[in-house]
Chains A and B, each alone.
Chain A
Amino acid sequence: MLIELGHFALVLALFIAMVQTVVPAWGALRSDDRMMELAAPASLSQLLLVLIAFVALMHAYVTSDFSVLNVAANSHSMKPVIYKISGVWGNHEGSMVLWVLILAIFGAAVALFGDNLPVTLKANVLSVQASIATAFILFILLTSNPFLRLDPAPVDGQGLNPILQDPALAFHPPFLYMGYVGFSMAFSFAVAALIEGRTDAAWARWVRPWTLLAWICLTLGIAMGSWWAYYELGWGGWWFWDPVENASFMPWLAGTALLHSALVMEKREALKVWTVLLAILTFSLSLMGTFLVRSGVLSSVHAFAVDPERGTFVLVIMILFTGGGLALFGARAGALRQGGIFAPISREGGLVLNNILLTTGCATVLCGTLYPLALEALTGDKISVGAPYFNATFVPLMVPLLLALPAGPFLAWKRGDLKGVSQRLFFAMLAALLGLVATFAIAERGPWLAPFGIALGLWVMAGAVLDPLSRARFGVGSREEVLRRLGNLPRSAYGTALAHFGLGLAVIGIVGTSAYRVERILPMRSGDKVEIAGYSLEFRGLTSGRGPNYTEETALFEVEHGGRPATELRPSKRLYDAPPQPTTEAGIHASWAGDLYVVLGDPQADGSTAVRLYFNPLVRGIWIGAVLMFLGGGLSLLDRRLRVGAPAPASARVVPAE
């Protein structure tokens, strides 16, 4: 009964979204207040209805109602509760309901907290949001309905793919979707601005928190996926340049560029046209990501919806919104006034460089991802574009970005002084140089470029530390003055520094583990010892056991470091009940220097067991860095000047008019 109620609620939500698409925008056109005022209650009731649909579906999962086709196909009564819940979005249909729910949450947030928006802008934004909701609810109801019944109901469900039964992956999709869908806010604001034919600093101030919120969620979502791949897929890889990973990485790159260009627009009224275009492109890339994943055109390991009907539908949605947004941009961009001149060497100039390199990087990833598809469609020629292509093209583009990054926050607006900046960054240069020498001294092998990569990461990290210190006149002013100034720095200044610091740390993690990874593959018997990266591991045999919904074989390794017992590692191999599928669980021992990573292989003909051991130096920097980027963005979001819905002081509103 509840599931029918959910189905009905979603249909109602569709009608409300349709009304919300048309009426407020029309009202804005006719300056009809009552029509525009419909937008807020409509988006709130849309949220309520989608929430009912979502909760109904979740209820069916938690109570294991196998008379619902979607539940029967993707859940199992023996599954732990957390995976019954995450099972809701662990499949195509349910994940689209989550998509629409997050979209509705963002729309309702504008309705609730958008009191300081000009009425026409608010009406137009909510109309555009509702048009996206209309398209996707229609998509769910017509091609991917999770509310269908199954008669007769099976005794038990098919189960959720075991490798998806994992805490990090349980929350990977919601964060990813909060990122994808969050960029719809930037899109809606951009389209609304184009409809009205005007944007100003205030517009950028409204767009920036939404973009930042989406960006931090996407950052965390991607990091969770990468962390999961690292420990679950069993060979310690953390990024594969898989098309589906690229599909989430492209909006991230474009979104990062958007955050920085919106900053220029807010502070200096410059880059307006570009920022609006970037807002449209970022969401278009999110839609494209959805299309690539949902349609299965890439037939990559992630694509679990191989269905041309759905693919075509999402393609139409994508073309409609991207094409519509770009056409509107082409027609109306001329109406946007540009402002704010600046010299190439200036804060604005630095942010332009940021945008040049991030956009080029994004275009490169896009090209590498779609090229094989296009070439095959046009000529029938099949090629593979894998990690070696991206390492050869994308990575070199990021080097100048990282080199320039620490200087950016030190440059003055309008016209900067590169010499003064380099003096203030002296200690960062010193840190990088010391890191370079130390890495050359410590590393016995590995590519000669790797120490430069480590130095680059240190340069970014040290620059990030120096940024707030320099603003507080550290080393110049008295201790009291420095402390007072540090206390008075806005949260966004610390947020920027923290995020940049995290990026530097991630760079070090990436370089460290890519260049200096140690690996051993060998057959082991009980009692055998093996040495790797200063650790000594003794294999103490295998034991069989039983988990809630799987059987497993667990190995015991006693680990010594420097002659002293360090830890015990228990890597295992599992066979799940439903679906009956094997997985490996790595045994990982983390230290400051890196991760000791042990995986069990197959039993060998002679009775021994294949064991794969890795030492992944500095690898945690990747995810700690990503978490710092998340926290840094969050800190900026808490800044009063940026807080969602916080009215700016009246004086700040007058200033742009001068």
Chain B
Amino acid sequence: MEAQQRAARVAGSLRQRMRRLGLGAALALAVLAGPATAVQPDEVLTDPALEARARAISAGLRCLVCQNQSIDDSNAPLARDLRLLVRERLEAGLSDAEVEAFIVTRYGDFVLLRPPLRAGTILLWAMPLIALSIALWAALSLFRRGAPEAAAAGAALSRVEEARLSELLGPGETTAPGTIRDV
């Protein structure tokens, strides 16, 4: 704990120095993704089934002060508080859904790494299906209109192509009969 605080202090002064140097490079990575010590031995519940449920719930909750980490992966003090809270509620006999709802009433939907389905997120959840439908529709129309176009395609050479062709074949050789001459 002490080492962490010291590291945080040093990182803070480092950032100040960098700002003095006029640099925008914040060492967000350094501060946030340092050594992961996440779940501590003293947090682990004695009942393995309950602990497994706690882990599953934690993996779906965002560490609010981190960037894109679940509380299960994070070593931030707030993440630890949340982990303890989840375990406390589980020990009090709440179901997984009730624990999650309890956390959401405190911290809002932002805490859920799997966004709930509501008006603002319908498009998010529908997007894979919409994209798949568009792709399938495009592919089907490809097969439908394939036939007539194919007849027209690839029949003739452009003037440039023909020039290139005769260049490749050399002056002595005749070009192949039929379609190739047919511009």
Q: Does B105 contact A (CB under 8 A)?
A: no
Chain A residues within 8 Å of B135, by CB: 355-356, 359-360
In the complex, A303 has a CB within 8 A of chain B: yes
**In the complex, which residues of chain B have a beta carbon less than 8 angstroms from the beta carbon of A158?**
14, 17-18
Q: Which chain B residues border A310 with CB–CB below 8 Å?
A: 24
Contact B128 A235 (CB under 8 A): no
B155-175 to A contact mask, C-beta < 8 Å, 1/0: 001101100110011000000
Report yes or no: A387 in contact with B73, Cβ–Cβ below 8 A: no
Contacts of B22 in A (CB 8 A): 69
A367 near B127 (CB under 8 angstroms)? yes
Q: How many A-B residue pairs have CB under 8 A?
A: 240
A656 at the interface (CB under 8 A from B): yes
CB neighbours (8 Å) of B32 from chain A are 301
Bitwise interface map of B from 105 to 122 toward A, beta carbon under 8 Å scored 1, else 0: 000111111110000110
Q: How near does chain B come to A433, taking the closest CB pair, in angstroms?
A: 29
| Residues of chain A lying within 8 A (CB to CB) of residue B59 | 387-388
Q: Which residue of A lies closest to B37 (CB)?
A: A601
Neighbouring B residues of A305 by C-beta, 8 Å: 24-25
Complex contact B112–A384 (CB within 8 A): yes
CA distance A522 to B7 in the complex (A): 24
CA distance A163 to B29 in the complex (A): 9
Complex: chain B residue closest to A74, CB-CB: B25
Tell me which of B26, B34, B44, B108 contacts A304 (CB under 8 A). Answer: B26
Q: Does B30 contact A (CB under 8 A)?
A: yes
Task: Choose among A340, A379, A389 the residue with the greatest number of B CB atoms under 10 Å from its CB.
Answer: A389
Nearest A residue to B170, CB-CB: A650
- CB of A573 within 8 A of CB of B35, answer yes
B66-98 contact mask (Cβ, 8 Å, vs A): 1 or 0: 111110010000000000000000000000000
Best-surrounded residue of A118, A235, A305 (most CB of chain B within 10 A):
A235
With A118-B160, A337-B154 given, is the CB distance from A234 to B21 under 8 Å? no
Q: Which of A644-658 contact B (CB under 8 A)?
A: 650, 653-654, 656-658
Within 8 A of B (CB), among A11-52: none
- CB B129 to nearest CB in A, in angstroms, measures 9
Residues of A within 8 A of B38 (CB): 235, 612
A150–B150 alpha-carbon span in the complex (Å): 65
**Cross-chain contact of A161 among B27, B112, B120 (Cβ < 8 A):** B27
Is A602 touching B28 in the complex (CB atoms < 8 A)?
no
- Classify chain A's interface size: 35 or more
CB < 8 Å: which of B30, B60, B112, B179 contacts A657?
B179
Tell me, in angstroms, the Cα distance from A364 to B134 when the chains sit together. 13
On chain B, the residues within 8 Å of A449 by CB distance are none
Q: Considering the complex, give the chain A residue whose CB is closest to the CB of B64.
A: A384
Is A579 part of the contact surface with B, judged by Cβ < 8 Å? yes
Closest chain B CB from A201 CB (angstroms): 9
Q: Which residues of A contact B112 (CB under 8 A)?
A: 383-384
Q: Which residues of B contact A92 (CB under 8 A)?
A: 24-25
- Chain A residues within 8 Å of B180, by CB: 654, 657-658
CA distance A198 to B34 in the complex (A): 53
| B128 contact from A162, A388, A397, Cβ within 8 A | A397
Given A69-B21, A581-B11: A653 and B127 within 8 A (CB)? no
- Specify which chain B residues have a CB less than 8 angstroms from the CB of A356 in the assembled complex: 132, 135-136, 139
Chain B residues whose CB sits within 8 angstroms of the CB of A393 once the complex forms: 125, 127-128
Q: Judging by beta carbons under 8 Å apart, are A610 and B68 in contact?
A: no
Question: In the complex, are the beta carbons of A610 and B28 less than 8 A apart?
Answer: no
Q: Kindly state the separation between the CA atoms of A393 and B114 in the bound complex, as whole angstroms.
A: 11
Which among A91, A269, A602 has the greatest number of chain B C-beta atoms within 10 A?
Answer: A602
B124 at the interface (CB under 8 A from A): yes
C-alpha spacing A367/B134, complex, angstroms:
15
How far does the alpha carbon of A522 sit from the alpha carbon of B44 in the complex, in Å? 9
Say whether B128 contacts A582, CB under 8 Å: no
Known A-B contacts A299-B28, A384-B113, A389-B114; the reply to A375 vs B120 at CB < 8 A is yes
Q: Which residue of B lies closest to A93 (CB)?
A: B25
Q: Which residues of A contact B124 (CB under 8 A)?
A: 367-368, 371, 375, 385, 389
Bound CA–CA A439/B147 (angstroms): 47
A650 touches B153 (CB 8 A): no
Given A234-B35, A383-B120 in contact, is the A653-B165 Cβ separation under 8 Å? yes
B10 close to A579 (CB less than 8 A): yes
CB neighbours (8 Å) of B108 from chain A are 382
Question: A73-B18, A386-B114 provided; 20 other pairs, C-beta below 8 A?
Answer: A92-B25, A118-B164, A150-B21, A163-B30, A305-B25, A306-B24, A338-B149, A340-B154, A353-B139, A364-B128, A382-B110, A387-B113, A393-B128, A397-B132, A580-B14, A581-B30, A584-B35, A602-B1, A602-B37, A656-B154
- Cβ-closest 3 pairs across A and B: A386-B113, A339-B153, A388-B114
Residues of A within 8 A of B (CB): 69, 72-74, 91-92, 118, 150, 158, 161-164, 198, 233-235, 237, 240, 242-243, 269, 271, 299-307, 310, 337-344, 352-353, 355-356, 359-360, 363-364, 367-368, 371, 375, 379, 381-389, 392-394, 397, 521-523, 573, 575, 579-584, 599, 601-602, 604, 610, 612, 650, 653-654, 656-658
Chain B interfacial positions (CB closer than 8 Å to A): 1, 3-4, 7, 10-11, 14, 17-18, 21-30, 32-42, 44, 59-60, 62, 66-70, 73, 108-115, 120-121, 123-125, 127-128, 131-132, 135-136, 139, 142-143, 146-147, 149-150, 152-154, 157-158, 160-161, 164-165, 168-169, 176, 179-180
15 A–B contacts, CB within 8 A, in A order: A92-B25, A162-B30, A235-B38, A242-B68, A301-B33, A340-B150, A341-B147, A364-B127, A379-B120, A383-B112, A384-B112, A522-B41, A575-B3, A584-B35, A604-B42
